[in-house]
Amino acid sequence: MSRLLALLAVLLTAGAVHAQTATAVFDEDDTPGDGAYAASDGGAVGNATLDLADGRLPIASSGAVSGADYGVLTYAHGDGGGWSLLVGAPGFPALDLTEADSVVVFLNGPVGVPGVALPRLALQDADGDRTVGVSLDFGTRVGFAPNESGFLDGSATDLMVSVSYVESLPAEVARPGYPESIRLTFADEVVATSTASIGFPALPARFTVATEAGLELAFRFVDTDGDGTLSTDGEYVEVLTEDPATGSLRQTWRIEAQNDPASPPATGDAYRLGVFNGGVDGDPGTWQRRAVAVKDFGPLGAVDAARIAGVVFENTEATTSERTLWIDAISALVYDGDPEGPAPPTAIVAETGDRSVRLSWTPADGSLGVVVFRQPAAGGPYERVTPTPVRFDHWFDLGVDNGEAVRYVLRSTASGGIGSRIQGPDSGPVEAAAEAGAPDVYIEDTARRAFDFFWEEANPANGLVKDRSTEGSASSIAAVGFGLSAITVAIDRGWITREEGVERTLNTLDFFATCSQGDQSTGVCGYRGFFYHFLDMQTGLRRGTTELSTIDTALLLGGVLHAAQYYDGDGAEADIRARADQIWRRVEWDWAANRPPLVALGWKPEEGFAICNGGLCDWTGYNEAMILYVLGLGSPTHPLPDDAWDAWTAGYAGQWQTHYGYEFLTFPPLFGHQYSHVWIDFRHMQDDYMRGRGITYFENSRRATLASRAYAIANPGNFPNYSAEEWGLTASDDPFGYRAHGAPPAQSDNGTITPTAAGGSYAFTPDLSREALRTFYARYTNGLWGDYGLKDAYNVEEGWFASDYLGIDQGPIVLMIENERTGAIWESFMTHPDVRAGLERAGFDVPAVAEEPEPGTEAATLNRPAPNPTAGSVRLGVSLAEAGPARLTVHDALGRRVAVVADGPLAAGAHALSWDASAVASGVYVVRLEAAGLVRTRTVVVTR
């Protein structure tokens, strides 16, 4: 007996020992002699075929795994086609499988069948209700199988070859001819021609390349000696398969000669390239056992487990050429001592938005994760929608259509030993329906979690925010700037109270207004109004030998000046404005222009202004420093020279380029196109340079983002996951450290994608950025998602996911999502008179804005609603300079009045009113105040 058959015998014996009962479904022909199994019924539709004998499963004998007979499935299907076959016990009795733990089927075939081409298996009851189909793929990782590869018996050549997979497409992407074993069959004459491409002429070949099922494959051929075969060290064949997304031929396997054979391959020689593919091997003498846990069929729903008609074989989603699969010994097993698994999660809540549902729950004791199943509320099988258990207390379903009600059932999982998982019982069902026009709950949560970084990874006593989420991290002053603005978003959204935001902001500004400054190397936080790049989180003093950073101070000031404009109240809010002004007016921009009129990158007490980056010692050439020059020019105390902006833009020479059809001012990492735009609204103004180009800086950043995405689609580096949905290069962590990745033109691109690249461009490309952020989550939930949303970066080719979050990457996500949603940061920041003065000195045609009045100076004021968005009550603050009649109403998007909040006389002063939005549908509403002969409006977003 062979070792494989001996192992099979052990498995069968072990099954008998551990199984209490085995309910046979199919083993022997029920009508011997007619070549078909009577208790079966099947067919094919559309672009599919299923070979049947009068609608029944064909039967063959000799070589069955058990008994004398086995079934023969011969099938194929393409786009728009499908097939299925029901196989029951003889006579189609109703089988009681209520206690069954698994369904077992033995598989074999005349040639190998890759896992992607194996059918799915489902259960069907006597009423025709069916479970979801479970793939019969054995789950083996795709790859070269060296023990199953080599020249076949009878080959005379002494050629040695190496085999490698060319990563032009991810290894898991199925396409015709892949992943399955391949044969190179050699001849003495020319029998094929290689495919021509750039650098690869079409060459005659004395061999063919085909799958073991007979599908001929295209190939490239490097033939250095011109003899038409692999006969010289270094010659190689690249097997080509069709990219399912584009239809173009892409490299798959590379077979390279490793010697100069004394007997080159010729007629009678054949090389087999064996592939691990999760399918049935190519040895017809062995059968492979596949067990499907009954719980893998998902919640049974309408399927009656006590009245099962049989098992159903059905086509998978992947198209396949004709395959032949042998099936035998189908049974349902009940095992001794099968553990029940942990209890289901509790307190399950569904929140809905546009094309999105958020499920949250309380995990059960002992649970290692949660599996989610979804069913159309109108009926049908439950489908497992989380391929791996979710390790969090929430999950987003981003595969739902608006308006279609669905039902969810959740199961907890626990370890079953040796890497397996045990699923517990079903939770109660929870229904939900995504709503068109409502905010995407996933994007809302992404923004909220990005804010949480600034709230949780900060020292509340001094407001300093960590550079990154790791223990012991220093504070980044740029992260503090982003965090100050993020706090205003949190107040407007209702994530924190205004009082909480005021306290944290005042503590932050108190620190920066009073911390020690001087030219010493230690014991200070800054010098001449600038601050050191990194500060100690507790003391607030210079960390190590970090530089006094002009750009990071500018980003800090973005948040400081925004806070000054946002907090417009009395008391502590007036103190915020005073502290912000103190910090702002102290910055000596003219001192930092050490080589005037340009501003130096930085300064150190040990080195002075000799701080350079690749030969760049001053801020010039288009990059993230636009905000630095705008602020420096707008300073009321230490302004930059008049020609500073012209000197800055003179550095743009050579950066206006065309890439992928987009003309724009280039800077490869996207952060350079984003940081200044977090605060400055460049949408409707131009400087002399952009007037000459006919666009705005906002449009320039939009084009840069589109070109970066186009680069990912073109994928010149052949990274396995770059695509229209996975894109975004910027500075971030990567598997090898930290570097500024970017393109086009390509800069340090090593396959690392950074979510803030798409998130920070949300205001430029909202639809494309949204889809990218959704894709990151949907494809890499457990690797990329965490407490603060999407982690810093990931690299599929290296199998690497970042462990950290960085403040300068979290900030643009939350703030640019908010700018796209409401424009709130732009609206406040652009009212600062010194910001406007700086833009005007730089030559911008700054649009007029309606500046916020000082408290008590306007006849009637309507404050920003909060929280916004809201699912319930929203605060509406009204102030009147003099007593008089006032009318406060709410209107829907069509202008219809849906509520009257106030209608009558109001005393002079501030009034805290509220509107209960719980009775209206999700959508956008306008709050309208009519008082003192004025009309004031605000927008409220209602979500469910």
Q: Is residue 434 part of a domain?
A: yes
Give pLDDT tens digits for 708-720.
999 999 999 989 8
Mean pLDDT of 573-592: 97
Q: Exposure of 46 by Cβ count < 10 A (0-12 exposed, 13-18 middle, 19+ buried)?
A: exposed
Single out the residue of 475, 471, 472, 453 nearest to residue 787, CA to CA. Answer: 453
Q: What is the DSSP string of 145-173?
A: -GGG-EEPTT------EEEEE-TTS-TT-
Read off φ and ψ for residue 378, nearest 5 degrees.
Answer: -75, -10
Share above pLDDT 70 across residues of the chain, in percent, rounded to a whole number:
95
Looking at the fold, whether 287 and 269 belong to one and the same domain comes out as no
Contact 436, 447 (CB under 8 A): no
Give pLDDT tens digits for 523-541.
999 999 999 999 999 999 9
- Confidence class of residue 593 from pLDDT cuts 50, 70 and 90? very high
Looking at the fold, whether 44 and 153 belong to one and the same domain comes out as no
Single out the residue of 720, 682, 819, 705 nearest to residue 756, CA to CA. Answer: 705
Single out the residue of 643, 672, 634, 666 nearest to residue 653, CA to CA. Answer: 666
Looking at the fold, whether 28 and 101 belong to one and the same domain comes out as yes
Higher pLDDT, 938 or 186: 186
pLDDT on residue 170: 74
Q: What is the DSSP string of 405-467?
A: EEEEEEEEEEEEETTEEEE-PPPPPEEEE--TTS--HHHHHHHHHHHHHHHHSB-TTT--BBS
Q: Is residue 842 part of a domain?
A: no
- Confidence class of residue 11 from pLDDT cuts 50, 70 and 90? very low
Upper half-sphere CA count for residue 546 (Cβ side, 13 Å) = 24
- The mean-pLDDT minimum among 101-110, 275-284, 362-371 falls in 275-284
Looking at the fold, whether 95 and 147 belong to one and the same domain comes out as no
Single out the residue of 646, 495, 504, 487 nearest to residue 579, CA to CA. Answer: 504
Looking at the fold, whether 701 and 723 belong to one and the same domain comes out as yes
133-147, 359-373, 895-909: range with highest mean pLDDT: 359-373
Q: Is residue 729 part of a domain?
A: yes
**CATH of residue 562:** 1.50.10.140
Q: Is residue 844 part of a domain?
A: no
Helix or strand or coil: residue 250? strand
Task: Provide the mean pLDDT of the chain.
Answer: 91
Q: From CA 124, how far away is CA 132, in angstroms rounded?
A: 10
> Could you tell me the two tokens for 857?
């100076």
Q: Is residue 933 part of a domain?
A: yes
Give pLDDT tens digits for 485-523.
999 999 999 999 999 999 999 999 999 999 999 999 999
Looking at the fold, whether 162 and 303 belong to one and the same domain comes out as no
Distance from chain centroid for Cα 17: 46
Looking at the fold, whether 309 and 254 belong to one and the same domain comes out as no
Q: Exposure of 429 by Cβ count < 10 A (0-12 exposed, 13-18 middle, 19+ buried)?
A: middle
Q: Is residue 10 part of a domain?
A: no
Looking at the fold, whether 79 and 158 belong to one and the same domain comes out as no
Q: What is the extent of the structural domain holding 516?
A: 444-822
- Confidence class of residue 339 from pLDDT cuts 50, 70 and 90? low
Q: From CA 564, how far away is CA 97, in angstroms rounded?
A: 69
Q: Is residue 670 part of a domain?
A: yes
Q: How many domains does the chain have?
A: 5
Q: How many residues does the chain have?
A: 944
pLDDT on residue 112: 87
Is residue 342 over pLDDT 90? yes
pLDDT on residue 20: 55
Is residue 927 over pLDDT 90? no
Is residue 6 over pLDDT 60? no
Looking at the fold, whether 725 and 625 belong to one and the same domain comes out as yes
Looking at the fold, whether 148 and 133 belong to one and the same domain comes out as no
DSSP character at residue 542:
B
Give pLDDT tens digits for 115-142.
888 999 999 999 999 999 999 987 767 8
Q: From CA 360, how far away is CA 368, in angstroms rounded?
A: 16
- Confidence class of residue 38 from pLDDT cuts 50, 70 and 90? very high
Q: How many CB atoms lie within 10 A of CB 924?
A: 14
Contact 437, 922 (CB under 8 A): yes
Read off φ and ψ for residue 440, nearest 5 degrees.
Answer: -70, 115
Across-strand partners of 144? 275
Looking at the fold, whether 272 and 288 belong to one and the same domain comes out as no
- Taking each helix axis from N to C end, the angle separating 833-841 and 626-634, rounded to the nearest 10 degrees, works out to 110
Contact 77, 315 (CB under 8 A): yes
Give pLDDT tens digits for 52-97.
999 999 999 988 998 889 999 999 998 889 999 999 999 999 999 9
Single-letter amino acid code for the residue at 281: D
pTM, two decimal places: 0.79
Q: Is residue 846 part of a domain?
A: no
Give pLDDT tens digits for 194-229.
999 878 899 999 999 999 888 899 999 999 999 999
pLDDT on residue 618: 97
Looking at the fold, whether 891 and 774 belong to one and the same domain comes out as no
Is residue 661 over pLDDT 70? yes
Q: Which of 438, 453, 477 is the last residue of a domain?
A: 438
**CATH of residue 37:** 2.60.120.430
**CATH of residue 925:** 2.60.40.1930
Q: Which of 369, 403, 438 is the last residue of a domain?
A: 438
Share above pLDDT 90 across residues of the chain, in percent, rounded to a whole number:
74
